[in-house]
Amino acid sequence: MASKQLSRNPPFRAEHLGSLLRPRDLLQKRAAVDKGQAQASELTLIEDNAIKNIVQTQVDCGFRPMTDGEYRRHMFWGTFFPELDGMKEIFNPDPDMFRPYMPDVAAFMEKEMKPGETVVCVGKIKHTGESTYIGQFEYLKTLVPKERWGDIKMTLAAPEWYHMRYREGRAYPKDVYLSDEEYFSDIAAAYRQELHILYKAGLRNVQIDDPNFAYFCSEKMLKGWEEDKENVGTAEDLLDAYIKFYNDCLSKRPTDMHVGLHICRGNFVGSRHFSEGGYDRIATKLFQRLNVDTYYLEYDTPRAGGFEPLKHLPQNKNVILGVITSKFPKMEDKEEMKKRVYAAADVVAEGSGSSREEALKRMGVSPQCGFASHAEGNLVEHDDMVKKLKLVRQIADEVWPGEP
């Protein structure tokens, strides 16, 4: 369960959300491998070199949380689900299996594309005992001093990712699971085993990337849910079920394993976002009932709403403010961003009856999302990304002098 103490370092004052722009030669080689025109071993060599370079970039920008840029993945969630026993990736899925009002599904359909990687349950779900993330972590350990292994951040898939997007009854066969509760229970057991494997290897810093929670803030999604007569319960019932599901997934994690939740609004091709709406609808439940240490929230545009929901942040939890956009190259004004951090701190302070200085102890700053949640990346160049990362570091240095 979540630590009763405030977790620090991680998270750090200057954070980024994991994915970073892939080099062109890496993308070209992966495309060649996918077409059978190159060997996977050739791709691995390019990935290794690219990861070395991007780790050095993070060091040069002054960041302590360290990722591999998600360079070995095509999409931000990685390959956790398709490698579980009882789960299977299907190709050319029937569009009717999806809830068309889910923001990510709607975005794919609008572009006349099939929704990204479709994995469904075909049998009882169980972890195989082999982690698909472990190789990524072990390679990062070779690039980071041992005393900094605890800074390495692994981004993990949201446990309910392959449930919410499917129509009622389509996530699993009824002859395998009789209810969502049974289905969630087995995924939670697999998730706990995954965290155990990664913890034994030395991982202490986890970030779960979850666009689904942001969907509960979307008027379009909520309207679509209400109009969908196949749905058994309300959207609020589902939110409650997901919070319980998450807490089951995290119930056995050691107290020195930091877990953060990035409530993502989507990073589609062309820097397209998926969902809109302030955090007001979900803040109380998500902040007070979900057993995570840190919330990485997106505050780069008005679509995220104001800071008022931060009044509900408990005193033993952190918030990282994503005030710098990773979607577009235009640089933010540093002084304006500092004002926004202080404004957010005043709201946190009001909610907890503390001072701005006390509130700032539970806060940090970051880009609002990754720079390449999908392999192609956002509408920014490498130099733009570096400038944005350095701006995050500068803001952190001026708001929290001398802190990592």
Residue partners of 389: CB distance under 8 A and separation at least 6: 16, 57, 58, 61, 63, 367
| Among candidate residues 171, 181, 190, 54, the one with its CA nearest the CA of residue 133 | 190
Give the per-residue pLDDT at 273. 44
- pLDDT, average across residues 99-113: 79
pLDDT band at 112 (very low <50, low <70, confident <90, very high): low
Residue 332 and residue 357: Cα distance in Å, rounded? 24
Residue 92 and residue 115: Cα distance in Å, rounded? 9
Q: Is residue 314 reached through a cis peptide bond, with omega within 30 degrees of 0 on the bond before it?
A: no
- pLDDT, average across residues 218-226: 94
Give the per-residue pLDDT at 274. 52
Domain boundary assignment for the chain? 24-304+365-377
Give the per-residue pLDDT at 75. 80
Residue 388 and residue 152: Cα distance in Å, rounded? 20
pLDDT for 19-32, tens place per residue? 999 999 999 999 99
* Torsion, CA 122, CA 124, CA 129, CA 130, rounded to 10: 10
Give the per-residue pLDDT at 4. 66
- pLDDT of 122 higher than 50: yes
- pLDDT of 275 higher than 90: no
| Among candidate residues 345, 400, 387, 376, the one with its CA nearest the CA of residue 111 | 376
**CATH class name, domain 24-304+365-377:** alpha beta
Cα→Cα distances 349→152, 225, 240, 314, 361, Å: 30, 35, 27, 11, 11
pLDDT for 44-88, tens place per residue? 999 999 999 999 999 999 999 999 999 999 887 788 999 999 999
- pLDDT of 268 higher than 70: no
Proportion of the chain above pLDDT 70, given as a percent? 95
pLDDT band at 3 (very low <50, low <70, confident <90, very high): very low
Q: What is the pTM of this model?
A: 0.95
The full DSSP string for 141-157 is: HTTS-GGGGGGBEEEEE
pLDDT for 168-193, tens place per residue? 999 999 999 999 999 999 999 999 99
Residue 366 and residue 321: Cα distance in Å, rounded? 6
pLDDT for 284-323, tens place per residue? 999 999 999 999 999 987 777 899 999 999 999 999 999 9
Burial 134-159 (b: 16+ CB within 10 A, else e): bebbebbeebbeeeebbbbbbbbbbb
> For residue 186, what are its two tokens?
């087995």
